[in-house]
Amino acid sequence: MKCKLTIAYEGTAYEGWRSQRPERGVQHVIEQNWQKIFHADPQIISSSRTDSGVHALGLVAHAVLSNKNIPVQKIPAIMNAELPADIRIIAAKKVSDTFHARFDAVSKEYLYQVWNHPVMNPLLRLHAWHVPKKLDFDAMKSAAKLFEGTHDFRAFTAKRNGVLADTQRTLTRCEIKRIGPHLTFRIEGNGFLYKMCRAIVGSIIRVGSGAASEKEIYDAFTTENPQQSRMIAPAHGLVLWKVRY
C-alpha cells in the first residue's frame, strides 16, 4: 500500500534531501533504515528537494509499504527508533495508489528567520541568519509585497547546468513579522526555483539595509540580466514549513 509520510529534519549535518554523496543526503538515510526495518527496497519520493543546510518541518513524501501486516500509523514510531535524532517521521497515513507527493502538491510554504541585532542569539545560530546592521522594517514589508502574484522569477534563482525552462511562479504570500530583533519571513507559492526563497529574502534584506531599492526588485522581473545585484541568503535560516494538497 502507498503511504504519505510527513518528515522533519534539522539540516545542518546534511547536504540536502539528496546529495551526490548518498550518505550525506536525508533521503538516503531514511531509505537505508526503511530497507533495514521493512526488508524491502524503498523508493521515497519527496515533495521537494531542499538544499544543503536547509531544514524541514513539513516535507511530504510517499513510499510503498509491502508488508500489509504493519499498521501505517505505527510507521513513525518504528522508523524513529532507528533514525538519527535529527531526522523524524512526524506522521504516516495510507493514501490512494495515484497519490504523488510532488505532482499533487498545490502549494509549499517556507519560513526564514533573521536575527537583526549587533550580537547573535546563540540559541538561533544554526537556524537564523545574523544580520547585525540596522534594517528599515517598513521598507522591507513594502518590498515583500512586490513578490506576491505571478511573475517571472528568473532573477531570483541560482544558475545550474543547462537552460532554465519555465521560470514563472505564483506566490500567494510573502510577508515579514518582527518581534524585537527576530524577523520571520513566510513565503508560500505554487512552486519554487533553485534557491528562490533565499534570493527573495536576500533581496528584501538589501532593501532594508539601503543597498537596493524597490525599483530594482520591480525591474528584476523584466530586465534580461537582473542577477548582478542579487544576494542569496544563507541556507541555515530556511525551513520547509508545510506542503498543501
What residues does 12 pair with on adjacent strands? none
Catalytic site residue from 51, 86, 104, 152: 51
The angle subtended at Cα 34 by Cα 191 and Cα 190, nearest 5°, is 5
Q: Are 188 and 110 contacting, i.e. CB atoms less than 8 angstroms apart? A: yes
* 86 labelled catalytic: no
Amino acid residing at 119: V
Instruction: Give 66-73 contacts, CB < 8 A, sequence gap 24+.
Output: 66/38, 66/40, 67/38, 67/39, 67/40, 68/1, 70/38, 72/1, 72/3
Cα–Cα distance, 112 to 120 (Å, whole number): 16
Q: Diameter of the chain by CA atoms?
A: 61
Nearest to 235 by CA among 85, 108, 120, 126: 126
Nearest to 76 by CA among 93, 101, 97, 56: 93
Instruction: Give the position of cell 525599483.
Output: 215
Cα–Cα distance, 47 to 108 (Å, whole number): 9
Cα–Cα distance, 172 to 86 (Å, whole number): 31
The angle subtended at Cα 218 by Cα 215 and Cα 222, nearest 5°, is 125
Catalytic residues: 51
